[in-house]
Structure 1
Amino acid sequence: MTFLIPTHEQAHAGLRAMKTVLTSAGELAPIRREALLAIQQHLLRTAFDLDALDPITPAALAEAIDDPALRTQLISGMVTLTLARDTVAEEEQAAIEGYAAALAVEPVALAQLRKFQTERLVALRFDVIRRSLLGPAMKQLYEKQGLFGVLKNVGSFAGLWENSAVAGRYRGLANYPDGSLGKELWRFYDANGFKFPGEKHGAPEPLLTHDLSHILGGYGTDFQSEGLVLAFQAGYKRQDPFSVLVFVLLNGQHGLRLTVFADPAHGYYNDKPGAIDDVVRAFARGAQAKLDLTDHWDFWAVMDRQVEDLRREYGIEPLAA
């Protein structure tokens, strides 16, 4: 799935529905207002006056938007918007359920919201992880190397042993040309004190697409930047992209620990003007990319290529843009 751009009329109806959801339990919260404005600017390319948007009934929304894929995207977007605040009201979920029923869609993100609201957190963690980044990465590793390959990666990450062949290959990136993807990855690990894949406590090799997205996207490693690179990955991900956004918001807004790789925070985006705008902008930037780096991307085949050349080839816009 790539992000679908609705028509002007469809965007207007969708924004009305989003505002209806977000005001079903009270006034439009500042963080959600910022998110709606960011969606208009970076994704929809519209400039509707939010205060002038009237409520819309589920039946009217169904009449305005008939494409099943666009319907699914809209409901998934509603879920992520509700999670942008550190509390989700029952009225907001009920409003989303009403729209989903009228549109006859059952997005993954809505099922995840249901688990969150009913505090089925074990099932929620499992579902988000298996659909976002870690699950698909480990599945592809299993397809390529079998169970033994998975166990070797997990064992080295747990510190049980070092896979010297894998570790040596990554250490050898120090000798790659300056400006190449491989050399920049080596510098990224060296500067941050990270262990290479194959080394004891080194990240499993399938997660290299995340670290390489840091480099191709130009994002740092602080808490906010980690959220941005994940949003960037959600943008270019073709399968279950909204699960990655759900991961970002559950981790950063709702304090839910999902993996050992990401420390949680509660209400991180509160009182940080521009932070949610940055997340939407990173998602939009990823959506412009021509390649899903999480889908069987052979990064070793391009380790010797210049980062700037790869950005142009993959359609990754400059960060400042």
Structure 2
Amino acid sequence: MTFLIPTHDQARAGLRAMKTVLTAAGPLAPIRREALAAIQQHLLRTEFDLDALGPITPEELAAAVDDPALRTQLISGMVTLTLASDTVADEEQAAIERFAAGFAVASVTLEQLRKFQTERRMALRFDVVRRSLAGPAFKQLYEDQGFLGVVKNLGSFAGLWENTAVAERYRGLAHYPDGSLGKELWRFYVANDFKFPGEKHGAPESLLSHDLTHILGGYGTDFQSEGLVLAFQAGYRRQDPFSVLVFLLLNGQHGVRLTAFADAARGYYNDKPGAIDDVVRAFARGARVTVDLTEHWDFWAVMDRQVEDLRREYGIEPALA
């Protein structure tokens, strides 16, 4: 589990700090109240009265939270919460900066927020992509298949050629047993009219963990469901999980298109009650998964296994649990 569970007192101090950040420029916005409530329910399992939580100083917070990893997680949580709204005030960033200084920790997500606030978009895109899902996926592809493998995958994705051997392997999933991961992946591609890896415009094999997470997690392919898959993946990731959430919110709330694989929208979650709660719920569900499916997961070794068996083995809870 990547998400560290604080003690009851640490959770209260952390919630006070988050509220201090989110009210630095004005009253607590409804979408941020929903996010705080969801964090309490799905991650912290606390029931503090948000209206009764008073502000906290960096010194008080540092005294309450002394573990460096928990401190870093808390700063990342603050950044993510500010991005849950479609605007971020300078006062909010300044409040996070004070807490980070009091903690004496360096934060990847805080550096990403600095780039966002100063409109260094190229640097922001590069950093978020290389730390979230696509960057590590292509790094792993290079480690597994070398430079030529990367070229072949990108060439077929760009529509320059078909890698027939790879494409035929995936087309062959049609003959796998019903209910198996391989057969369900084949059905997923056919039902959504997606190209198979290796085919022209087919997704690179290194990104297959995302599509397989759709199946194992039981998520659809509409815009909101794609966000839930990303949140779920962020939950089970062991490295830079909050960079995936930053990717999700920049893409869905701030209209920053980061890759060719994901369409962007601005303010998507603003007028959808419960949508941010669903994102936090998906992250919490992912945090209880026992394996990081983005870290050298050999999915071909389990393609013939039943999806329900894999869900039990990996600790994937039912979608509505």
Query: Fold match, TM over 0.5?
Result: yes
Alignment-mate amino acid for residue 71 of structure 2: R
Give the equivalent residue in structure 1 for 2:235: 235
Alignment-mate amino acid for residue 296 of structure 1: H
User: Counterparts in 2 of 1:147-186, with a 5 A limit?
Assistant: 147-186=147-186
Offset from partner CA, 1:131-184 (integer Å, 9 cap, x none) = 000000100110011100000000000001000000000000000000000000
Give the equivalent residue in structure 1 for 2:49: 49
Q: TM-score, normalised by structure 1?
A: 1.00
Corresponding position: 1:310 with 2:310? yes
Q: TM-score, normalised by structure 2?
A: 1.00
Alpha-carbon offset, residue 320 of structure 1? 1.4
Give the equivalent residue in structure 1 for 2:96: 96
Give the equivalent residue in structure 1 for 2:80: 80
User: How far apart, CA to CA, are the structure 2 residues paired with 1:92 and 1:138?
Assistant: 34
Alignment-mate amino acid for residue 163 of structure 1: N
Alpha-carbon offset, residue 270 of structure 1? 0.4
User: How far apart, CA to CA, are the structure 1 residues paired with 2:288 and 2:129?
Assistant: 24
List structure 1 segments (4+ residues) > 3 angstroms apart after TM superposition: none
User: Counterparts in 2 of 1:1-321, with a 5 A limit?
Assistant: 2-321=2-321
Alignment-mate amino acid for residue 83 of structure 2: L
Alpha-carbon offset, residue 267 of structure 1? 0.1
Alpha-carbon offset, residue 271 of structure 1? 1.2
User: How far apart, CA to CA, are the structure 2 residues paired with 1:180 and 1:143?
Assistant: 28
Alignment-mate amino acid for residue 215 of structure 1: I
User: How far apart, CA to CA, are the structure 2 residues paired with 1:284 and 1:68?
Assistant: 21
Unaligned runs of 5+ in 2: none
Aligned alpha-carbon RMSD (Å)? 0.5
Offset from partner CA, 1:62-119 (integer Å, 9 cap, x none) = 0000000000000000000000000000000000000000001111100000000000
User: How far apart, CA to CA, are the structure 1 residues paired with 2:201 and 2:164?
Assistant: 13
User: How far apart, CA to CA, are the structure 1 residues paired with 2:204 and 2:223?
Assistant: 21
User: How far apart, CA to CA, are the structure 2 residues paired with 1:311 and 1:111?
Assistant: 36
Unaligned runs of 5+ in 1: none
SS at match of 1:170: helix
User: How far apart, CA to CA, are the structure 2 residues paired with 1:47 and 1:215?
Assistant: 33
SS at match of 2:3: coil
Question: How many percent of aligned residue pairs carry the same amino acid?
Answer: 84
User: How far apart, CA to CA, are the structure 2 residues paired with 1:2 and 1:252?
Assistant: 24
User: How far apart, CA to CA, are the structure 1 residues paired with 2:191 and 2:163?
Assistant: 22
SS at match of 2:2: coil
SS at match of 1:125: helix
User: How far apart, CA to CA, are the structure 2 residues paired with 1:111 and 1:317?
Assistant: 33
How many positions carry a matched residue from both structures? Answer: 321
Offset from partner CA, 1:19-68 (integer Å, 9 cap, x none) = 00000000000000000000000000000000000100000000000000
